Amino acid sequence: MLTRHVALVSEQSKITMRELSAVAAALQKQATRDLGPIWQVESTVTAFEKLEDLPLDYWPVIVKDDIGDPDAAGYHEDENGQPFSLVEYSRGWTLTASHEVLEMLVDPFGRRLIAGTSPVKGQGRVRFLIEVCDPSEAEKYSYRVNGVSVSDFYTPHFFDSTKASGVRYSFTEAITEPKQVLPGGYLSWYDSEKRQWWQRTYFGSKPSDDRIDGFKAKNGNLRQALDRYTEAARARATGRPEPLTGAKGARMAMAAHRTTEAAEAIPSFPNRAKAMRETIAAVTGQK
């Protein structure tokens, strides 16, 4: 199989290269040791100081001090339809970065569907969007790799028809049965017969199943569109004007800036970096 390469890259951020490299090493271990054998994915995760240093075949997870619009956090596609993610540098940024890396590795283009039995009684067979971290994305279900907080993720057994003993439904085993959504999480699926998207969310005191009316995915990018919809739904459910802190909305931290030496030895791709910055500006509303 082709190896998937992910870049953890700093862009307009006070994060030090030492911290960025340490987190990249933890995410590499998580991807290789934990995710890879379960989802049959071969991958690398490497830290880069700036976008110009990014090799051409790497998908970037870009860390910024300020992403402008809070809904800009998470998954996007560049001008060529290639995946990239934005992460705000903050207290919980490593959990966010882990979440984005894992989902990028399992479903790079945000539209992978799998058939299964709907959690809504009488709905029958539906197709679920594969977002491996969303049902257990809250910080309380995270675990540590090299001392770094990383996201839980579900296994392919998450979509089994029935519960069975001895089966692992998520890596930390926080999820204990198929299609379970834990507090702070959500699950999305498509009813082909009704041509209707649904979500099970757990943003209040109990899970809620709701139709998504008028839903349209730009360029067929289901993950990007559903993530934006869900963050708005989360804010409405909790009475907050912006996303909650945690896997997709942690806020503001400070660190000293540090540069590295011998940058001249690294191939530079300024035109790709310029195009990526233009795309980020369009997504975040920043210039």
**% residues pLDDT > 70 (the chain):** 85
Compute the CA torsion angle 87, 88, 90, 92 (nearest 10 deg).
Answer: -30
Asked if the model's pLDDT at residue 82 lies above 70, the reply is yes
| SS3 (DSSP) at 170 | strand
Backbone angles phi, psi at 242, to 5 degrees: -145, 170
Whole-number Å distance between alpha carbons of 145 and 143? 7
State the amino acid at position 249 in one-letter form: G
Instruction: Give the H/E segment covering residue 106.
Output: helix 93-106
DSSP 37-59: HHHT--EEEEEESSGGG--TTEE
The end-to-end CA distance of the chain, in Å, is: 39
Whole-number Å distance between alpha carbons of 268 and 52? 5
> CB of 279 within 8 A of CB of 76?
yes
pLDDT tens, residue by residue, 108-166: 999 999 999 999 999 999 999 999 999 999 999 999 999 999 999 999 999 999 999 99
> CB of 248 within 8 A of CB of 229?
no
pLDDT tens, residue by residue, 25-81: 999 999 999 999 999 999 999 999 999 999 999 999 999 998 877 777 788 888 888
State the amino acid at position 150 in one-letter form: V
> CB of 9 within 8 A of CB of 60?
yes
| SS3 (DSSP) at 164 | coil
Whole-number Å distance between alpha carbons of 195 and 34? 36
pLDDT tens, residue by residue, 189-245: 999 999 999 999 999 899 999 999 888 776 667 888 888 778 777 666 555 444 443
pTM: 0.82
